[in-house]
């Protein structure tokens, strides 16, 4: 609420003159020259040559300025960073679909991925106990969506268990492209041999053929993948895959339609191997999946903030 002062103040009563006023005026007039002379002498000899007057002026100025926590509030760093992804668009691509197995004809249909034709989608893998990769990817995607939304991002999923099957890999890429995503991540879990453990991030290789042209996204996707790999390892405690990637957790491929057809920075994350008992124990843990989502989220935030 603002307050506007009146344009003019009401006239004030004039105080009566004191009988002592004239003698005091005379006395002060006599004292002023002496005071000025004393100040001149002090100014000439009182400065110790070390900038005393400047220091005193600086100190006076500092003492009159409001100090943080005393008169003026210090900048709120938490408030400044409360929504670091505001204005950013992130597309999350949960791999496969829980209902794909019911639609073999549709998901086996061949689509053009630039380098060659490939099936529309697959059913994905599962743990030995029957926990499907498609259920895993949706769960992590939901957790990741919530974390990114809390940071201010606009988040879009390529599928949310709301489709009969798919979408096909070319449509998954198209969804990210049409959203003009600042980053896109496809979430998966591997189905390798027992004993093969750990996560890896798949980066797009340089492809320029037919409908595919990844040349503009290779470098930013590599940065996105490296940030996710670092944060994912920190949060989950998982190690990079021991069976590919030479221990870096980073693998480049040119045979995946979801990457080949993307025009925005995009990576695939294989969070672990569902067919290894040790990795299975992690992938089937809700607490671990939350850590996984946090690691992915932090990697995306790091990438988008530069």
Q: What SS3 class is residue 95?
A: coil
Q: Which residue's structure tokens are 């809390």?
A: 150
Identify the bridge partners of residue 89 per DSSP, sorted by sequence position. Answer: 154
What is the DSSP track for 191-260?
A: ---TT---BEEEEEPP-EETTEE-TTTHHHHHHHHHHHHHHHHHHH-PPBPSSSGGGSSEEEES--HHHH
Q: What angle do CA 190, 193, 196 make, to 5 degrees?
A: 75
Characterise 293 by phi-psi region: left (phi > 0), alpha (psi -120 to 50), beta (else).
alpha
Asked if residues 280 and 274 have their Cβ atoms less than 8 Å apart, the reply is yes
SS (H, E, C) 191-203: CCCCCCCCEEEEE
- Residue 231 contacts by C-beta under 8 Å, 6 or more apart in sequence? 295, 296, 297, 298, 299, 302
Q: Which residue's structure tokens are 């879990």?
A: 189
Task: Please give the positions annotated as active site.
Answer: 270
Q: Which of 152, 150, 121, 149 is nearest to 137 (CA)?
A: 121
């Amino acid at each position: 609420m603002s307050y506007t002062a009146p344009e003019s103040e009401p006239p004030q009563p004039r105080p009566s003159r004191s009988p002592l006023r004239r003698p005091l005026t005379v006395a002060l007039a006599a004292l002023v020259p002496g005071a000025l002379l004393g100040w001149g002498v002090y100014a000439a000899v009182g400065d110790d040559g070390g900038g005393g007057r400047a220091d005193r002026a600086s100190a006076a100025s500092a003492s009159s300025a409001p100090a943080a926590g005393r008169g003026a509030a210090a900048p709120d760093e938490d408030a400044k960073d409360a929504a670091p992804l505001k204005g950013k668009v992130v597309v999350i691509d949960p791999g496969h679909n829980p209902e794909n197995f019911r639609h073999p004809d549709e998901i086996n249909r061949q689509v053009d991925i630039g380098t060659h034709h490939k099936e529309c989608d697959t059913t994905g893998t599962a743990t030995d106990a029957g926990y499907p990769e498609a259920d895993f990817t949706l769960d992590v995607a939901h957790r990741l969506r919530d974390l990114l939304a809390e940071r201010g991002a606009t988040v879009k999923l390529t599928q949310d268990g709301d489709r009969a099957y798919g979408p096909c890999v070319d449509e998954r890429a198209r969804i990210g492209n049409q959203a003009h995503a600042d980053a896109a991540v496809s979430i998966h879990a591997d189905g390798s041999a027992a004993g093969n453990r750990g996560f890896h991030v798949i980066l797009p290789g340089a492809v320029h053929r037919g409908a595919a042209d990844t040349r503009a996204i290779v470098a930013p996707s590599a940065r996105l993948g490296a940030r996710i790999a670092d944060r994912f390892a920190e949060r989950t405690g998982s190690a990079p895959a021991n069976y590919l990637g030479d221990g870096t957790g980073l693998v480049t491929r040119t045979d995946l339609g979801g990457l080949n057809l993307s025009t925005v920075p995009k990576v695939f994350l294989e969070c672990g191997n569902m067919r290894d008992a040790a990795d299975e124990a992690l992938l089937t843990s809700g607490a671990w999946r939350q850590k996984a989502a946090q690691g992915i989220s932090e990697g995306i935030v790091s990438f988008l903030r530069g």
